[in-house]
Chains A and B, each alone.
Chain A
């Protein structure tokens, strides 16, 4: 089996789908010859030609709108928004036009589009290149939100996303692109959208995370283990639809939980997850579910990025608060 990092796995998913389905198109700013600023699409234009994989003029709203128009004509666009902070320019087309197409047309049209975007901190990038903006997407009805944490999932989830007839916001953590290699099968396989995964079993507390934070949570779990605490770690993989069943099953076992997110603390994915835990599992809880997240400030300039983002020590601290409640 091939060893791939997450970027190679994402590229391989696009290659598999470009080969399988002539209606799949990959486009965005600089994705063609150079293969994107992170080289996620490198080689695809050479392999599939510049009508299947192409550069667009620099205009995010038009990239989104082009995808919506192409989607109505039987194409399956994979549109890259170069950096997450640029999605604001495309919000209408992504979160209004694509996400509402099925509703507005009473099911007559749909938007089989994947909006790929790199995001995520810890890489000292320029302002508005790394913010975790998934909260905007999860509050938007009609669009799925997928955030992989490893190469195997990234490939399988992206293939699922491309085959999905609804729009998918596919967020790729910058810090995971090259972080490590994984066994990734060649060719075709899928990881279903909407299924979380227990990545570490434990009985004392559940740590719920997604994206890079899964790895930070696993580090924290190792620290906790040294003190005899067995933490269970859940990788959500998908925020919409959210796999609340896996979360509840874990809490029934551990009776305690925290949610870790890179996005600012208030009103984000963690808040939603806790609300759903209250609805479904409150009688299994022996402590409030806490959030480990950055403060409600704008994403900081590079100098204090590391202090601002959740790390293993802060996760351990939050878990201890829950355990000592």
Chain B
């Protein structure tokens, strides 16, 4: 695993002898862009069926994303944050968890919570602004996506403390982007996890842009993984377009967390192929060359090549999964559209466990 370390006797950049310096960090990669295993030591143990399942989920997620953007344009979805390009970090990190591990997502992290058990139609309801979208079924260990950048980092920290207090061998994982790593809540969460040695995984999907602000303007730190050093937790940087590297890193972090070893900050270097949300114009802040360069690292292509070489995946498989995904999206969007609308009185009743008199009175105006 590529770990950030304080052990750097020889500084490259000068400075005073007593200054803390960090090693250069090189992202962990298991697969090369050609789909060759370049780091067999970190090859996660996965059966052929599991490997196929991971590919299935990534292709499904890509297709769902493309369909969701169309549904958004048709006015059938509300707020939606595209995910294409980030399938390896999203699908891979969830796949590396146990079902009783807990996920605290940011606004873009719908795939993780759907693969963890949230029915797809509820994801669509969430996007359509319906409360039932957030009514997570019993036994599904997720919170709804967080809008306030960084708030979920603290919730995961509290949930992880809960696991530790109950002596449960579970971890809480939370996601944010490179922009989220600038929030005070990010540092507060890491610091609490360090101080209390909590089983939390802080996964930063560094896709290079906070909406339009590039990484270079986000931080002067060499990497986000370095930020773990100040909190006294593990910091790891990985190639976020390599799903096997993601699985290796998250499995390791989860194992360490479950066994009392504390928290890990994982920085996955990734890219969103599409805009931040449905509204921004990527041509104003990204170049075609950059986009082409990242397209070559497409996690689906890379992992597909690896599987094809093993005889586990073909173009026909991709076509089949795409068809399945389209049908599933159609079915779930219909279910979302057929779900009875929220009511103002229902909204009022969701404020408190027992609706107090003043709200009962206000409710009467809407009945």
Asked if A268 is an interface residue, CB under 8 A from chain B, the answer is no
Inside 8 A of A59's CB, which chain B residues have their CB?
188, 191-192
- Bound: A247/B255 CA distance, A: 59
Does A166 reach chain B (CB closer than 8 Å)?
yes
Number of A-B contacts (CB under 8 A): 130
Interface pair B161/A66, CB less than 8 Å apart? yes
Asked if A304 is at the interface of the complex by the 8 Å CB criterion, the answer is: no
Beta-carbon contact of A105 and B134 below 8 Å: yes
Contact A72 B159, beta carbon cutoff 8 Å: yes
What sequence of 0s and 1s flags, for each residue 58-96 of chain A, a beta carbon within 8 Å of any chain B beta carbon? 010110111111111111000000000000000011001
B352 touches A (CB below 8 Å): yes
Contact B143 A96 (CB under 8 A): no
Residue A104 lies at the interface, judged by CB distance under 8 Å to chain B: yes
A137 to chain B, nearest CB (A): 14
Q: Is B351 an interface residue (CB 8 A)?
A: yes
A66 near B154: Cβ-Cβ < 8 Å:
yes
Q: Give the interface segment out of A107-115, A121-129, A152-160, A182-190.
A: A107-115
Q: Which of A72, A93, A103 contacts B347 (CB 8 A)?
A: A103
Separation of A56 and B155 alpha carbons in the complex (Å): 15
| A42 vs B158: C-alpha distance when bound (angstroms) | 24
The segment out of B31-39, B271-279, B287-295, B353-361 that lies at the interface is B353-361
Neighbouring B residues of A72 by C-beta, 8 Å? 143, 155, 158-159, 162
User: Residue B128 at the A interface, CB < 8 A?
Assistant: no
Taking a contact as CB atoms under 8 Å apart, the answer to whether A110 and B162 are in contact is no
Q: Counting CB contacts under 8 A, is A196 at the interface?
A: no
Minimum Cβ distance to chain B for residue A244 (Å): 7
Contact: B155 with A142, CB < 8 Å?
Answer: no
Contact B356 A96 (CB under 8 A): no
- How far, in angstroms, from A277 to B203 measured CA to CA in the complex? 52
- Closest Cβ of chain A to B345, distance in Å, is 13
Given contacts A142-B352, A241-B357, contact A70 B185 (CB under 8 A): no
Q: How far is the CA of A106 from the CA of B154 in the complex (A)?
A: 21
Report the bound CA distance from A104 to B143 in whole Å. Answer: 10
CB within 8 Å of B: which A262-303 residues = 276
Report if B97 contacts A (CB, 8 A): no
A132 to chain B, nearest CB (A): 22
A61, A109, A194: the one contacting B154 at CB < 8 Å is: A61
Q: Name the residue on B nearest A68 (C-beta).
A: B155
- CB neighbours (8 Å) of A228 from chain B are none
* Bound Cα distance A75, B158 (Å): 10
Complexed CA–CA distance, A144 and B161 (Å): 26
Task: Mark contacts of B183-214 with chain A using CB atoms, 8 A cut-off: 1 yes-contact digit, 0 otherwise.
Answer: 01100110110010000000000000000000
**Contacts A62-B188, A106-B134, A108-B136 known; A69 to B155 CB distance under 8 Å?**
yes
Complex CA gap A107/B349 in Å reads 9
The verdict on A106 contacting B191 (CB below 8 Å), with A68-B158, A73-B159, A244-B358 known, is: no
Majority secondary structure, B binding face: helix
Q: Are A69 and B157 in contact (CB under 8 A)?
A: yes
| Contact between chains at B192 and A57 (CB < 8 Å) | yes
Tell which of B132, B134, B195, B357 has the most Cβ of chain A within 10 Å: B134
Please provide the chain B residues from 113 to 149 with a CB less than 8 Å away from any CB of chain A in the complex: 131-136, 143-144, 148
A241 and B192 within 8 A (CB):
no
Q: Which B residues are CB-close (under 8 A) to A92? A: 148, 151, 185
- Tell me how many residues of B have a C-beta within 8 Å of chain A: 40
Judge whether B347 and A62 touch: CB under 8 Å. no
Q: Kindly supply a per-residue 1/0 record for chain B positions 149-182, scoring 1 wherever the CB is within 8 Å of any chain A CB and 0 otherwise.
A: 0010111111111110110000010000000000
Q: Which of A25, A97, A106, A194 contacts B131 (CB 8 A)?
A: A106
Contact flag A51-B158 (CB < 8 Å), given A72-B143, A107-B350, A110-B353? no
B135 touches A73 (CB 8 A): no
A67 to B155, CA, bound (A): 8
Given A70-B161, A105-B134, A165-B353, A57:B155 Cβ within 8 A: no
* Structural contact, B134 and A104, CB atoms closer than 8 A: yes
In the complex, the answer to whether B155 meets A62 with C-beta atoms within 8 Å is no
Whether B134 lies near A108 (C-beta < 8 A) is yes
Contact of B350 among A25, A65, A103, A165 (CB under 8 A): A103
A141 contacts partner chain B, Cβ-Cβ < 8 Å: yes
Which chain A residues border B157 with CB–CB below 8 Å?
62, 65-66, 69
Which residues of A sit under 8 angstroms from B192, Cβ to Cβ?
A: 56-57, 59, 62, 66
Q: Using Cβ atoms and an 8 Å threshold, which residues of chain A touch B351?
A: 102-103, 141-142
| CB–CB A69/B151 < 8 A | no
Binary per-residue interface labels of chain A (187-228) against chain B in the complex, 1 for a CB within 8 Å, 0 otherwise: 000000010000000000000000000000000000000000
Contacts of A109 in B (CB 8 A): 136, 143
A65 contacts which of B135, B144, B151 (Cβ < 8 Å)?
B151
Which residues from chain B sit less than 8 Å from chain A, CB to CB? Answer: 104, 131-136, 143-144, 148, 151, 153-163, 165-166, 172, 184-185, 188-189, 191-192, 195, 347, 350-353, 356-358
7 smallest beta-carbon distances between A and B, as pairs: A69-B158, A65-B154, A73-B162, A241-B356, A62-B188, A106-B131, A106-B135
